[in-house]
Amino acid sequence: MVCPTCGAELSQEGGPCSVCASSAASAAGAAGAAGAGSVAGSAGSGAPTPAEPGADTAPSPRSITFNVSRLTRGDRIVGVASLVVFIALFLPWYGTGLIGFTVDGLWHGWMVVTLLLTIATIGYVAALAAVEVRLPVSHAQALLGATGVTLLLVVIGLVTTPSGATLEWGGILGVIAALAGVGGAVVRRREAGTA
């Protein structure tokens, strides 16, 4: 049975919805009364009656609720790791020991792609907690692809250290977080395999 208020699957018929806590029994009773009228109008054939011309057939607006319990452990790992990579891009990645000058992870102009990819990944994980997201690939594949490309770009950013510069702590944090993101995507893939 589906909750008439938020559309979530109900674990018990007549019990409260675990997402929006609305009473499914009262909504089902109202829907049953409305449904009884349409069955009677169809002369008991059981077929739904067509909408009358001019009748309002627009679906009622659904509220969007951000519910972290909709996220799996893998989704949460990917979301937090992507947020840490995003923050790490603004921290010192390279430095010079002589004058204490440091450069952040966005020193390479193409690291903006990494920035945009982390924003997209964080947005995608947040969307998973709020609405049903449909993609042409599975969620695990989408997360694995996004985190894998992020890791690749972060590693390339570290390998192409400017001449005469040393690696700083922001770059190390970025690599660790990118590795954690790929690990979270692998966890999500395993969770999808067992579901």
Domain boundaries, the chain: 1-52, 68-194
Question: Between 55 and 113, where is the model more confident?
Answer: 113
The larger pLDDT score, comparing residue 61 to residue 68, is at: 68
| CB-based contact 124:135 (threshold 8 Å) | no
The pLDDT confidence band at residue 186, using thresholds 50, 70 and 90, is very high
Q: Give the pLDDT of residue 15.
A: 66
- Residues composing the chain: 195
DSSP, residue by residue, 175-190: HHHHHHHHHHHHHHHH
β-strand pairing of 102-104 with 166-167: unpaired
Q: Is the pLDDT of residue 77 over 60?
A: yes
Residue 166: its pLDDT value, please?
80
135's CB contacts (< 8 A; 6+ apart) are 142
Query: Which residue would you say has higher pLDDT here, 172 or 2?
Result: 172
Instruction: Report d(CA 187, CA 2) in Å as an integer.
Output: 29
Q: How confident is the model at residue 167 (pLDDT cuts 50, 70, 90)?
A: confident
| Mean pLDDT computed over every residue of the chain | 77
For the residues 171-184, what does the mean pLDDT come to? Answer: 95
What pLDDT score was predicted for residue 148? Answer: 96
The lowest-confidence range among 5-19, 106-120, 139-153 is: 5-19
Radius of gyration in angstroms for the set of CA atoms belonging to the chain, rounded to a whole number: 25
Listed residue (153, 151, 155) closest to 143, CA to CA:
151
Distances (CA, A) of 144 to 13, 16, 116, 133, 134: 37, 35, 16, 16, 16
| pLDDT tens, position by position, 7-60 | 666 666 666 676 666 665 544 444 444 444 444 444 444 555 555 555 555 555
Q: Which amino acid is at 182?
A: V
What pLDDT is recorded for position 41?
Answer: 41
On whether the CB atoms of residues 13 and 1 are closer than 8 A, the answer is: yes
Residue 63 Cα to chain centre, angstroms: 17
Query: Angle formed by the axes of helices 73-88 and 169-194, to 10°?
Result: 160
High-pLDDT (> 90) share of the chain, %? 32
Tokens, residue 125:
């994980």
